[in-house]
Amino acid sequence: MKILLVEDDTFFREFYSTKLREKNIEVETAANGEEGLLRLQTFMPDVMLLDIIMPKKDGFDVLKELAQMQLLPKLPVLVFSTLGQEKDIEKARVLGARGYVNKSFFDFEKLYARILELVKPN
């Protein structure tokens, strides 16, 4: 499995990419939305973990661009953010995200379970 983790916070990016690699997942990271979109030119993940509050392009802008690029049907995006208000979660879903996980709870097993749900065949 391959994951693109788009996260501007160095701690969260390193912590979660390390935990994912421990599960034998290939992980590429990006420090902002603009960088994340550029990574897609050379790395097509099975899942994108996407922060919302980031410099250059926030997660909402990334979701809009993924929709314009017609990638959302084949690239599941899991919002991975500390924003937990229902309006933010709903906005992400309307823009094409397939789910939401609050990254600040450090519940890696819950995150991993959500990732597996997104990549299992229907």
pLDDT tens figures, 7-25: 999 998 999 999 999 999 9
Mean pLDDT of 60-71: 96
Q: Which CATH superfamily is domain 2-106 in?
A: Response regulator (3.40.50.2300)
pTM of the model: 0.92
pLDDT in tens, 83-113: 767 888 899 999 999 988 887 776 788 889 9
Q: Is the pLDDT of residue 31 over 80?
A: yes
The sign of the CA dihedral 32, 35, 41, 44 is negative
Report domain extents, the chain.
Answer: 2-106
pLDDT the model gives residue 32: 96
Mean pLDDT of 42-65: 94
How far is Cα 46 from Cα 107, in angstroms, rounded to an integer?
A: 21
Q: 12 vs 30, 56, 83, 104, 110, CA distance in Å? A: 12, 18, 14, 8, 15
